[in-house]
Chains A and B, each alone.
Chain A
């Protein structure tokens, strides 16, 4: 029972580099989302998706792209990394059809941009 799987756990990038954070869930959840966690700021929503082919912006979408080609996968792309994107990133999923279903989180990715 894997739940939500995020890779990698740690990543160091140089300014201007691109990369993709992977997220996969095996719970058949319709809703998937990406958050970033910064000290003193809690979790802020970057992008979310309510099903394959559907994505939308959250609170802090600039500098990030997402796509949802399957129910299971929801990758987050950084096109040109900036030091301001140094953060811990969480992928989370939940069931849309079951209200009061909590968010299930991956174990996070610590990203450092130098």
Chain B
């Protein structure tokens, strides 16, 4: 079975500090893509960052970066210099060939001023 586990239902971080959201997944495939989506209170699903499984280099997008450990099937998201606008639900997901997407249950991030 294809599964995505986000073991932290809730996290909090002080404004300007760094926080890491964890994600593990289970697949027997070797070729896949990984994503983090952000869902603010507006309910909109926003792509934060993506990672190709065949690339060893970790993806970065401004203050967002990932720590991809393929052997451990781990894909954590690091948010640096946290801002109030980062408060949201964050979903980890991966895509197999054939556009099969699998989502985790989400981590609710609170940013404390």
Interface positions of A (Cβ within 8 A of B)? 31, 33, 35, 40-45, 48, 50, 88, 90, 92, 94, 96, 99-100, 102-103, 105, 107-108, 110
Determine if B35 is an interface residue (Cβ-Cβ < 8 Å).
Answer: yes
> Are the CB atoms of A102 and B35 closer together than 8 Å?
yes
Mark B34-54 against chain A: 1 for CB-CB distance below 8 A, else 0.
Answer: 010100001111010010100
> Are the CB atoms of B47 and A94 closer together than 8 Å?
no
* Distance of B20 from chain A, by nearest CB (Å): 19
The residue of chain A having its C-beta at the shortest distance from the C-beta of B47 within the complex is: A102
Could you list 29 A-B pairs, sorted by A, with CB under 8 Å? A31-B99, A33-B101, A35-B103, A40-B105, A42-B4, A42-B91, A42-B103, A43-B91, A43-B103, A50-B99, A88-B43, A94-B99, A96-B99, A99-B33, A99-B97, A100-B50, A100-B52, A100-B95, A102-B35, A102-B47, A103-B35, A103-B45, A103-B47, A105-B37, A105-B44, A107-B43, A108-B43, A108-B45, A110-B43
> Are the CB atoms of A102 and B50 closer together than 8 Å?
yes
Given A42-B106, A90-B45: A100 touches B101 (CB 8 Å cut-off): no
* Distance of B69 from chain A, by nearest CB (Å): 20
| Bound-complex Cα distance A45 to B99 (A) | 12
